[in-house]
Amino acid sequence: MTPIPTGRLRATATGFDLEIPRTFHADIDDVWASVTESDRTAQWFGAWEGESGAGKSIRVQMRFEEGAPWMDMRVDVCAAPRHLALSTSGESGGWKLELELEQSGETTTLVLIQHRSDREGLGEIGPGWEYYLDNLVASRDGAPLPSFDDYYPAQQGYYEALR
């Protein structure tokens, strides 16, 4: 069964923001820990090493990518437990990412935002983030992690058509 894509594209002054939400029946501090503590990020994305905090650099091991490569990231903003902004650099260029969290009652919503100058590559990028965010959900629920094959290429058309 193909998971239903949830991303949307929002125009900005410098391009577009790809926004993908997830909702958790959990306290914001617990969800924040799932996206910032290395032993917990290892369960759904990859462990990280280095000194945390705004202006600091970390290295993240991409556990679910072929060869489990390491990626350098800079922590641009760390305003616990509501806002984390990261930037990457590498062969594919730099990415600007944000995680925004908001709690309402017993529910916390997390929105992953990737700032983009154009729509190029959305057909691959969107399904990848859907997969990782569903890994996060599964890791928190103690459920089996999904298979990337259920996301790509099945969601590729959805993301390529976003306007």
pTM score of the predicted model? 0.95
Residue 70 inside a domain? The answer is yes
Domain count, the chain: 1
Does 129 score more than 80 pLDDT?
A: yes
Average pLDDT (96-109) is 98
Place of tokens 């999904």: 146
**DSSP line for 118-156:** S-TTHHHHHHHHHHHHHHHHHHHHTPPPPPGGGTTTTTH
Name the pLDDT band for 44 (thresholds 50, 70, 90): very high
Residue 2 inside a domain? The answer is no
Task: Determine the structural domain holding residue 58 and report its residue range.
Answer: 8-160
Name the pLDDT band for 89 (thresholds 50, 70, 90): confident
12-22 per-position pLDDT tens digit? 999 999 999 99
CATH of the domain at 45: 3.30.530.20
**CA–CA dist 108, 35 (Å, integer):** 13
What is the pLDDT, as a whole number, of residue 144?
97
Average pLDDT (37-65) is 95
Rounded to 5°, the CA angle 109-148-131 comes to: 10
Instruction: Count Cβ atoms within 10 A of the Cβ of residue 133 and give its class: 0-12 exposed, 13-18 middle, 19 or more buried.
Output: buried
